[in-house]
Every structure is written in C-alpha cells, then in structure tokens.
C-alpha cells in the first residue's frame, strides 16, 4: 500500500490524481490532502477519501472548513501548514500538484523527510533546480515527473544510456494562438487565452501555454531532471498532442512516447513506477489518426521560450526572477490590467534586473521572489 500526500488536491492535477488512484484501492491510500482556498471541494474529498490530515493555506478557508471537519481527519493550521504536512511521517509519496512558488517549501520539506516526489509543479525546479538536485542526493529521494512531456522523456530514455542521447525534443500544442501575428496577439482577451485546444488545465497554466512560457519552463525542468544542457533540448509544435516528447539517440534512432492527451496516463505511471497499471485511457487507434504534424516555434511573436533559454544559460537567480515576474504578469492579464503581448515584456524587464544573484537555499529563492514581484508590479 503506497500512502500519498496530495498537495493542491482541489486543482486539476490533484482531482485527476484522486480519480486515477480510485482504480487501485488496494495499492494507494490518501494520507493527507491540502488546498489553497477551496474548502468546499476539500470537504467533499475528505468525506470520500478519508485522509488523516488536511491543510488549507488560506486562513479564512481554514476557519470555514473547521466548522464541518469530518471525524477522523485532523486539520493542520497556520502559515507553515503545508510544510508541516510535508514533513510528517506516515506516507511514502508527495504529489506536488499545486501551482506556483507556493510548492517550493513543501517540496523541500518532503525531500528532507525522505519522501519520493511525484512532481507536477513546474516552479519548484524552475526556481530552485540546483538546490532541489542537491537535496534529492543528500536525502536519498527521487522525483517522478507527472508532466506529460517529462514523463514521455523519462520513459523514452529507458531505451538507451545517457551517453547515447544526442538531444531530446519537447512537443508543444502551440496553445490557442499559434499562427497569430503581433497585431492579432495585441487584441486577444483572457477569455480567448483560456480556450486551450487540447488540455483542460487551471487558469495560470493555460495562460502559460498560450504564451509558450510553459514550454520555456519545461526546458528548464528537463535540464535539471535529466542533467542535459540547454542546447540539447529542442522544441517542436505538435498540434495533435499525441506524441508527448521524444529522445534522439546518437545512432539515428528516435524514441517517442505516444498517448491520448489525458493526464491520468502520466499521473498513474509516476505513482506506479516501475510498474504500468491500466487506467481510464485506451491505446491509440492509429488508423483513426489522420495526421501527425510538426511545426517550428514562432520565437518572434512568442518570445517566452527564448527568455527561459537565456535564463537557463545564465544560471544563478535568472529563472527564479523569470518565474516571479511571469506570475505577476499572468495575474495582471487575467485581471485585464495589461495586454497579452505585455506579458513577455514585463518578464524580460524584470529578469534583467534580478538575474545575477547567488541563491543557495529555498528561503533565499522566496526572498528574491518577493523583490521581483514588487518590481514587476511597479512596471504594471
């Protein structure tokens, strides 16, 4: 029986994780659930999955939840409630499904307590990749990627040795605006940007997909996860989202992972590794697939990938600064304070001012994060 603590349980990945493990009650149990503000859904999940512990990061939501807390479930309160949950004994794997920098400290605490990490939170490795890698080694911990792209790379790499890899290829759906020119992008709205052509995700990740920032973050993640330099990580636009990513080997072979665009597939693989368990998704029927296309990234109109590449090459605080500015810019766009095309401008200006600072601890990352957010807000 593998016991799970699911951080961000009320979000898209959290809910899909719970649905996936329902198939195997003899293999998986829920030890703890956390959420930000959605106490009503968390209450429903607690009644269904009966975790021993829960936490709500928002204090007001925590007070409301307490009024109807289910018998047998203990509520952890306070500003450090997520870190307390992460450091608890009694579970095996932390599913890091919450969005944003808030996932950093809980991940650090889970690693330090020797837990395995099923990682869906991009920002953990983007902001603190070198710090996390050292902690994993020091605490005999391991990351199992949940992102469909990194899961595909992880699986494909099993076909050869590390020294046999010539490059990896991350695929991108291209988001809802692929093919748009600058004038068209200037006019798009948040409502337009939230209409992703393939995936059903939370608002912030959907906007990141529209700007292609999510692909820039995935380049950084892949570099840390698979110990590859930036120039060995390629990106191609693949509108069908059938090939989730590929590995090119030195002998001319390319190994790819193909599946229907359903997040339950990489979620279940991350939790069951090294086994494969049958989920809700059937295999592809190739005679029904009309075509698989591969297109170039439009770096001129979608510059976020190149901004992330520059940040990865520069190192130090660059990626943490990019992430902080991006969170402010995305939130401002969603609240109709800036245009879609302002997002990369704000990120670029912020990154240039905070890209050369040494970061050695998660606390230093969070301190920088606050400073960059203030600067980005001043630009808006």
Q: Does residue 233 lie within any of the structural domains?
A: yes
Same structural domain, 123 and 171: no
Number of domains the chain contains: 2
List the single range of 3-12, 180-189, 198-207 with lowest mean pLDDT. 198-207
Same structural domain, 161 and 284: yes
pLDDT tens per residue, range 221-268: 999 999 999 999 999 999 999 999 999 999 999 999 999 999 999 999
Question: Tokens standing for 85?
Answer: 């949950």
Q: Does residue 376 lie within any of the structural domains?
A: no
Compute the Cα dihedral for 201, 202, 208, 214 and give only its sign.
negative
Same structural domain, 170 and 140: no
Length of the chain: 380
User: Which of 296, 314, 332 delimits the end of a domain?
Assistant: 314
Q: With bands split at pLDDT 50, 70 and 90, how would you rate the model's confidence at 196? A: confident
Q: What CATH number is associated with residue 114?
A: 3.40.50.720
Same structural domain, 153 and 141: no
pLDDT of residue 1 exceeding 90, the answer is yes
Intra-chain end-to-end CA distance of the chain, in Å: 50
Same structural domain, 155 and 26: no
Q: What is the structure's pLDDT at 195? A: 84
Same structural domain, 156 and 126: no
Q: Does residue 354 lie within any of the structural domains?
A: no
Q: What is the structure's pLDDT at 259? A: 96
Same structural domain, 165 and 137: no
* Mean pLDDT of the chain, nearest integer: 95
Same structural domain, 176 and 306: yes
Helix (H, G, I), strand (E, B) or coil at 378: helix
pLDDT of residue 348 exceeding 90, the answer is yes
- Burial code of 273-285, b = ≥16 C-beta within 10 A, e = fewer? beeeeebeeeeee
Q: What is the structure's pLDDT at 99? A: 86
Domain limits for position 49: 2-145
Q: What is the structure's pLDDT at 200? A: 65
pLDDT tens per residue, range 113-159: 999 999 999 999 999 999 999 999 999 999 999 999 999 999 999 99
Q: What is the structure's pLDDT at 174? A: 92
Share of the chain above pLDDT 70, in %: 99
Distance between CA atoms of residues 173 and 230, nearest Å: 20
User: Which of 103, 123, 145 delimits the end of a domain?
Assistant: 145
Beta bridge partners of 243: 258
pLDDT of residue 59 exceeding 70, the answer is yes
pLDDT of residue 202 exceeding 80, the answer is no
- What angle (nearest 5°) sits at the alpha carbon of residue 135, between those of residues 130 and 140? 130
Q: What is the structure's pLDDT at 312? A: 96
Same structural domain, 125 and 41: yes
Q: Are 118 and 93 in contact (CB under 8 A)?
A: yes
Same structural domain, 114 and 242: no
Q: Does residue 226 lie within any of the structural domains?
A: yes
Q: Are 185 and 341 in contact (CB under 8 A)?
A: yes
Q: Does residue 205 lie within any of the structural domains?
A: yes
Q: In what order do the strands lie in the sheet with 53-56?
A: 74-76, 53-56, 28-35, 2-7, 93-96, 116-119, 143-145
pLDDT of residue 199 exceeding 90, the answer is no
User: Which of 120, 145, 170 delimits the end of a domain?
Assistant: 145
DSSP E strand stretches across the chain: 2-7, 28-35, 53-56, 74-76, 93-96, 116-119, 143-145, 165-172, 233-237, 243-249, 254-258
Beta bridge partners of 233: 168
């Amino acid at each position: 029986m593998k016991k799970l603590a699911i951080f961000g349980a009320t979000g898209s990945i959290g809910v899909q994780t719970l649905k996936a493990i329902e198939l195997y009650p003899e293999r998986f149990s829920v030890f703890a659930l956390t959420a930000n503000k959605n106490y009503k859904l968390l209450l429903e999940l607690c009644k269904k999955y009966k975790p021993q512990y829960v936490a709500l990061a928002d204090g007001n939501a925590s007070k409301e939840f307490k009024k109807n807390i289910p018998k047998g479930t203990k509520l952890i309160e306070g500003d450090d409630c997520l870190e307390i949950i992460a450091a608890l004994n009694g579970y095996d794997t932390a599913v890091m499904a919450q969005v944003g920098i808030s996932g950093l400290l809980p991940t650090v605490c889970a690693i330090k307590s020797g837990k395995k990490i099923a990682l869906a939170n991009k920002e953990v490795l983007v902001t603190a990749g070198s710090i996390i890698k050292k902690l994993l080694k020091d605490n005999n911990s391991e990351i199992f990627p949940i992102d469909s792209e990194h899961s595909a790379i992880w699986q494909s790499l099993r076909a050869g040795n590390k020294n046999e890899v010539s490059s990896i290829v991350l695929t991108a759906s291209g988001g809802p605006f692929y093919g748009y020119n600058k004038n068209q992008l200037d006019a798009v709205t948040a409502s337009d940007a939230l209409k992703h052509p393939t995936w059903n995700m939370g608002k912030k990740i959907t906007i990141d997909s529209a700007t292609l920032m999510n692909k820039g973050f995935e380049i950084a993640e892949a570099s840390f996860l698979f110990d590859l330099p930036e120039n060995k990580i390629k990106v191609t636009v693949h509108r069908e989202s059938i090939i989730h990513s590929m590995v090119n080997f030195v002998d001319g072979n390319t190994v790819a992972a193909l599946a229907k665009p359903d997040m339950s597939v990489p979620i279940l693989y991350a939790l069951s590794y090294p086994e494969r368990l049958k989920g809700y998704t059937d295999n592809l029927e190739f005679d029904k697939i009309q075509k698989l296309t591969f297109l170039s990234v439009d770096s001129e109109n979608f510059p976020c990938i190149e901004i992330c590449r520059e940040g990865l090459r520069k190192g130090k605080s660059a990626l943490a600064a990019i992430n902080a500015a991006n969170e402010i810019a995305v939130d401002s766009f969603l609240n109709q304070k800036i245009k879609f095309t302002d997002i990369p401008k704000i990120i670029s200006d912020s990154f240039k001012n905070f890209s050369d600072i040494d970061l050695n601890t998660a606390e230093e990352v969070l301190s920088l994060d606050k400073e960059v957010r203030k600067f980005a807000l001043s630009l808006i």
